[in-house]
Amino acid sequence: MKKIMIVIIFYGLLLYGCGGGSSGSNNDIGAGSSDAEDDTALKVLSYSPSGNESVSIYSSIEFQMNYEIYASSLSDESITVESDDGESVIYCQVIQDIENKKLVCVPYKLFKENKKYNVTLSGEIKNTDLIKLNNGEDFIFSFSTGSYTKETAGDIRIFSNYEMGYIRKDLDVTFTTDESDLTIQTGWTKDLSGTEPDEWADGNVFDFAGIDTYGTVKVFARAVESGGNTSGDVYSFVYKVVDAFPKVDEDGYCEGIHSDDAGFVETASVCYTEYGSGIGDNWKNTTFVMGNGGIFVYTFDNPITDGTGPDFAIGENTFRRNTDGLIFAELFYVEVSSDGVNYIRFDNVSLTITTGPYLCFDPGDVYGLGSCQLCYYGYDFLQPYDLSWLHNKKEVLNGTVDLSRITHVKYIDIPGTDEVDTVDFDEDGDGTVDGTYTIFPCYDSFGNTINDAYLTWDSGGADVYEPHVINMVE
């Protein structure tokens, strides 16, 4: 089912952890200064993050250029992001805003906390055969990520890698703390009003297969000093324990909310788009097709707030195969922000082990990624999201994201490949290759590769429904 929306192109909202780029000469960023006065050279006019302050682990990178840049000028090595200790290289999806002379680089993995990253824009990038970046010099700059900031000297928090409404019994959840000299203990109870578990056990990994029940349980974690004294607040989160994540049955029954439900009080007012690859011009500006690696950012006339129960719902144009109950769905991350700059991502899990063009998979293996369980053709149900699932996240605890006033919801398409792949695309369907794209794997909250329908083309990427609001600031 396709829907029509008005689309406005806007690129500034892709920046996560800073207030915009800062202009500077080549001397400021480490490139050679000999070409600074060469008006024919391709130059970086500004960039973000600026490096002046610590940014979020969700940060994206943006370059403002003095000339238009085209896909044919970019190679696999054109833009690199590497931690200064050499520990990791972060690959990025490079989205080109040709009209506004911008390059926007969206990381395929989250950055790590308290790390310095070096970004290199290769000097071989050019917009014609005659105009190269600074006549061959590399453009180099650095930025650093921050971490959770304690409210007080004794503020010790426990963090989890996965906090969503459902958890499969065959999964383990890992707890961490910023204090390295403390031991973590975990436990659980069926008493949802309880303030501690039935018993505590040492170890920062909670194995759901080890509990003797299904349904709703409350899981706890705490930090303990060597003498046995508890330090900081006790962590708790309520999960529904299942063998498989919720599915739509053959009669269309599910736990989703129909798009016509009276409980929806608002839908997104504007959608800002960054289309990914594999999308023809005929699919742009008139549908919800994102393209492989595309980004949509939705805004609202009134902010979403963390109220009772689910706070908003989303959907994707999913198809169910009646012969075996498998579905065709194109997955995407879901993030929220209270300022349009700093975002936080909902946790997610993907246990699908294969990928392929227009692949169908078991929705019981996937959760938290683009409503694949609930919204399939002919039934129009939307998957609810609860902002309370983010209460224990660092960005919420340190005030970066205010769950009482969510102004932006972001979708990030997941291409679905399980390996690095370079693909030629015929964007307009005329039989001529219009661009070559390097596409990288994406990962869930457990570190699993997210396998999806790959490769998709023409109307590639997720085909999404705008967020529907349940709890709104009055």
Domain boundary among 144, 173, 196: 144
For 32, 216, 395, 415, 416, the CA distances from 329, given in Å and listed in that order, are 48, 28, 30, 11, 11
- Residue 202 resides in a domain: yes
Cα–Cα distance between 120 and 127 in angstroms, integer? Answer: 18
**Which amino acid type is present at position 173?**
V
- Residue 152 resides in a domain: no
Judge contact between 291 and 460, C-beta under 8 A. yes
Residues 59 and 125 in one domain: yes
pLDDT at 207 over 90: yes
Phi, psi angle pair for 282, to nearest 5°: -70, -15
pLDDT average, residue stretch 148-168: 83
Question: How many domains is the chain partitioned into structurally?
Answer: 3
- Residue 455 resides in a domain: yes
Residues 328 and 409 in one domain: yes
- Residue 252 resides in a domain: no
Residues 295 and 319 in one domain: yes
Residues 280 and 236 in one domain: no
pLDDT average, residue stretch 137-148: 86
Cα–Cα distance between 452 and 352 in angstroms, integer? Answer: 8
pLDDT average, residue stretch 81-105: 79
Kind of pairing between the strands at 464-469 and 266-267? antiparallel
List pLDDT tens digits, range 9-65: 222 222 222 222 333 333 344 343 344 456 778 889 999 887 767 787 877 788 998
- Residue 442 resides in a domain: yes
- Residue 248 resides in a domain: no
Q: What percent of the chain has pLDDT over 90?
A: 31
List pLDDT tens digits, range 362-419: 888 989 988 665 555 556 778 889 999 999 999 998 889 999 999 999 999 998 888 8
Supply the CATH number for residue 119's domain. 2.60.40.1220
Supply the CATH number for residue 195's domain. 2.60.40.10
Residues 393 and 366 in one domain: yes
pTM: 0.76
What is the end-to-end Cα distance of the chain in Å, rounded? Answer: 32
Cα–Cα distance between 197 and 174 in angstroms, integer? Answer: 17
Give me the domain span that covers residue 217: 158-242
Domain boundary among 112, 144, 176: 144
| Cα atoms in the Cβ-side hemisphere of radius 13 Å centred on 119 | 23
Cα–Cα distance between 406 and 358 in angstroms, integer? Answer: 34
Residues 264 and 409 in one domain: yes
Given pLDDT bands bounded at 50, 70 and 90, which one contains residue 472? very high
Residues 459 and 313 in one domain: yes
Residues 311 and 422 in one domain: yes
- Residue 247 resides in a domain: no
Cis geometry, peptide bond prior to residue 455 (ω within 30 degrees of 0): yes
**Which amino acid type is present at position 464?**
V
pLDDT number for residue 154: 65
Residues 232 and 369 in one domain: no
Residues 353 and 430 in one domain: yes
Residues 109 and 162 in one domain: no
- Residue 150 resides in a domain: no
Residues 140 and 167 in one domain: no
